[in-house]
Amino acid sequence: KSISKRIMSALPKKNGHHQKFTICVEGNIASGKTSFLEYFKDTHDVEVIEEPVNKWRNVQGGNILAKMYEDPTRWSLTLQTYVQLTMLQNHVKSQEKTIKLMERSIYSAKYCFVENLHNSGKMPDLEFAVLSEWFDWILDFHKCPLDLIVYLQTTPEIVYDRIKKRQRKEEQTIPIEYLQTLHNLHEDWLIHQRKFPVPCKVLTLDANYELDYMHKVFEENRKKIICDSG
C-alpha cells in the first residue's frame, strides 16, 4: 500500500487535487478480469466498479444472459441493449477516488460481442443498426473516456478450460469456436488496432497463468498500471 501511496502522489495534480483517471480491464470470457479487480481493490485511492453481470442474470426476475445463450437470435438485442445501458451507467458513475477501475466497457460490448453476434448471423442487420445508432449517440453525448486499458491476453484453449472448471451454469454450452472468435475480435481491436478505434493506451499482460503467478505479474506491473493511466 505504501508503494501505491508513493506512486499516487507522483500523479499529476490540478488545483492541488489529483486529476481523475479511469482504467478498464478487458479480455476474453474467463481471462481473469475479476481477479485483477480483486487484486487492486484495496489499493490506496482506487475504487473498483464490478461488471454488471449479476444484473444481466436478474432483470426484474429474468435471466437474459441465460436466454441469450439458449436462443441468441431471439434474445441478443435484448441482452445487448441492457449491457449497453448498464455499461453506460458504470462509465458515468461519479468517482470519489483518483482512479476508477472498471471491468469491461461499452466498447468491448459493441466491438467484440455485438460484432460477433451480427457477423455470425444471430443478430439481424436492422437490430444491429438500431444498437449502433444508440452506441454512436451515447458516445457523442457522454464520451465514456478511458485513460488505460489493461488487456488480459489469453489463448482460447486456456479460457475454455477455466469456463469448464468454474461451472457458471449459463456458460456450459459455450463452444471453443465462440471463444476463438471473441479472442480474434479482442486482438483485432486492441493489438492490431485495425478495425475499431482504441479509446486510450493499452497495456497487454499475458494472462495464461495460474492465479498465484498472475498476482506476481500484477504486482510487477503495478507502477505501470497506476502511472500509465495518468
Query: Residue numbers of the site for ligand DGT (CB under 6 A)?
Result: 27, 29-34, 51, 53, 65, 68, 79-80, 83, 104, 109, 113, 170-171
As given in the structure block, the three cell numbers for residue 197 are 478505434
CA distance 41 to 54: 19
Of the pair 104, 183, the CB lying nearest ligand DGT is at 104
Reference 229, options 197, 204, 203, 190; nearest CA is: 203
CA distance 98 to 47: 8
Of the pair 53, 198, the CB lying nearest ligand DGT is at 53
Identify the three-state secondary structure at position 166. helix
CA distance 134 to 124: 16
Of the pair 7, 65, the CB lying nearest ligand DGT is at 65
On whether the CB atoms of residues 130 and 29 are closer than 8 A, the answer is no
Reference 79, options 127, 20, 28; nearest CA is: 127
Residue whose C-alpha cell reads 437490430 in the numeric block: 127
CA distances from 73 to 44, 92, 186, 212 (A): 44, 30, 22, 39
Active site residue 103: yes
As given in the structure block, the three cell numbers for residue 215 are 498476482
CA atoms within 13 A on the CB side of 180: 5
State the nearest-atom distance from the C-beta of 48 to ligand DGT, in Å.
12
State the nearest-atom distance from the C-beta of 116 to ligand DGT, in Å.
8
Of the pair 24, 68, the CB lying nearest ligand DGT is at 68
Of the pair 170, 188, the CB lying nearest ligand DGT is at 170
Q: Which of 51, 103, 115, 127 is catalytic?
A: 103
Active site residues: 103
